[in-house]
Amino acid sequence: MSQTDVPDANAVEQWLRGLQSRICDALEQADASGRFGSDHWSRAEGGGGVTRILEDGALFERAGVGFSLVHGPRLPPSASAARPELAGRGFRAMGVSLVLHPRNPHVPTTHLNVRYLVAEKEGAPPVWWFGGGYDLTPYYPYETDAMHWHGTARAACERVGSTVYPRLKQHCDDYFFLKHRGETRGVGGLFCDDWSEGGFGPSFALIRAIGDSFLPAYLPIVERRRDTPYGERERHWQLVRRGRYVEFNLVWDRGTLFGLQSGGRTESILMSMPPDVRWRYDLKPEPGSPEAKLLDEFLKPRDWLAPP
């Protein structure tokens, strides 16, 4: 086994902490008026983290960027459901998770999560894996934004291997899907789980490529849309669509379930929720409107990089 194949949790932790700092610094600069507060927390069962929150900024209504490192004597059911042979093992999990809820409805909401988990049992070798990715949830349909997002994601994956992007893109489309609505959460991106292909070195390289490409994928979209005029109609649509985001997080998201089942800090786990949201009964947009185009053309799995 080469040195790069030896799991190095300390290296992962240092990169994750640095990623949180770099992202917060960049988002503060983009917002211009808002500043992140830091909330350090500890977990009675073991571990803790730092939740950083920016609220009521010029650009972001809420931006949450959290780092956590938790451990315990037994894997939560959400982590062992797909790998029942690991049930009962102790665990150590660390990661960075963020959700950004912009003020302007023309700027998409976005989510990033990158994580590393080790399942341990006395007398047996540890089992480790990486997971995470990022996805984009627009409220208005801009093809140039979706193409830039996926182009950046593909370029990041191709630094690791030519077949990685299609697999992670497909996994993202499948995962961020509201089964009870029959629609995707947004235009997708990248997602992987239980990833250990090629050993520790290549797997860590993939997660670094995902995390390090997030800002180049997102910030150009922000700059393109942040000054787009909007009114009450666009704001109302944004709040209704945010309701779908809440539905996914509370009904389908395994990360939310893992955090709650592992005894994580509830405020930090639910920082992903938008500050304002609405539900309207059976709201249907006017045919031919931008809102209808979002539902009809954007909230379906699609190859955003296919030649015209």
Task: Tokens for 257, please give them.
Answer: 């379930």
How much is the CA Rg of the chain, to the nearest whole Å?
A: 19
Q: How far apart are the first and last CA of the chain?
A: 46
User: What is the Cα–Cα distance from 97 to 209, expressed in whole angstroms?
Assistant: 15
pLDDT for 156: 97
Polymer length in residues for the chain: 308
Task: Tokens for 225, please give them.
Answer: 């849309």
Long-range contacts, 109-112 (Cβ 8 Å, 24+): 109/136, 109/137, 109/138, 109/139, 109/186, 109/242, 109/245, 109/274, 110/134, 110/135, 110/136, 110/137, 110/218, 111/135, 111/137, 111/272, 112/23, 112/211, 112/214
Three-state secondary structure call for residue 70: strand
User: What is the Cα–Cα distance from 90 to 120, expressed in whole angstroms?
Assistant: 5
Please, what's the b/e burial string for 269-299 (b: 16 or more CB within 10 A of its CB; e: otherwise)? bebbbbeebeeeeeeeeeeeebbeebeeebb
Instruction: From the candidates 101, 111, 148, 150, give the one annotated as an active-site residue.
Output: 111
What stretches in the chain show pLDDT beneath 50?
1-3
pLDDT for 80: 65
The sheet with strand 188-195 has its strands ordered as 37-42, 47-55, 60-72, 90-102, 109-121, 124-137, 188-195
Of 293, 81, 101, 69, nearest to 194 by C-alpha is 81
User: What is the Cα–Cα distance from 165 to 259, expressed in whole angstroms?
Assistant: 27
pLDDT for 2: 44
Amino acid at 33: S
Of 176, 177, 172, nearest to 154 by C-alpha is 172
Query: Does 111 participate in catalysis according to the annotation?
Result: yes
pLDDT for 254: 75
The model carries a pTM of: 0.92
Long-range contacts, 25-29 (Cβ 8 Å, 24+): 26/215, 26/219, 27/54, 27/60, 27/63, 27/65, 27/100, 28/54
Reduce the secondary structure of 169-234 to three states and give it as a string.
HHHHHHHCEECCCCEECCCEEEEEEEECCCCHHHHHHHHHHHHHCHHHHHHHHHHHHCCCCCCHHH
